[in-house]
Copies of this chain bind each other. A is one copy, B any other.
Amino acid sequence: MAAPQPKYDVFQAIADPTRRQLLSLLSEQEMPVTSISRHFPMSRTAVSKHLRILAEAGLVKDRKVGRETRYRLESEPLQELKRWLSYYERFWDNKLAMLKHFVESDSTDEAERYGKLEVLKSDHND
């Protein structure tokens, strides 16, 4: 019944610089593990592990071709990141939204201002 619940989410997956380079590399073309690992100063096994993490986050797909496993970029999951980011964009480039924000924050006492209100209800977190 439980959903597949991928162990790694996109945010975690792209947190590591090596994994971001992997995405960059694979965005150019599909590539087998050994070839990929030639671009990195670490063992093939280490690279393989990073690839698995990316795969769990859905950011790469692999397919077996003969004895090799070729990986390719799968960028769709990055849309989640884009969505998350879009919430914050208004804070740096939407002057009107900023203004609205300031206008709305002028009321009441500390309890109400800093209390545990409905603040985390929206889902632009996680």
The chain A residues found within 8 Å of chain B, CB to CB, are 11-12, 14-15, 17, 20-21, 23-25, 27-29, 31-32, 35-36, 38-39, 73, 75-76, 78-79, 81-82, 84-85, 87-89, 91-92, 105, 110, 113-116, 119-120, 122, 124-126
Contact = CB atoms under 8 A, between A and B. Distances in A.
Q: Which 8 A-B pairs have the closest CB atoms?
A: A35-B114, A15-B15, A75-B91, A24-B125, A21-B125, A75-B92, A75-B88, A11-B15
Contacts of A126: 17, 20-21
Contacts of A81: 81, 85
Most chain B beta carbons < 10 A, residue from A79, A87, A113, A119: A119
A78 B105 contact: no
6 contacts: A21-B126, A24-B125, A25-B119, A35-B115, A36-B114, A81-B85
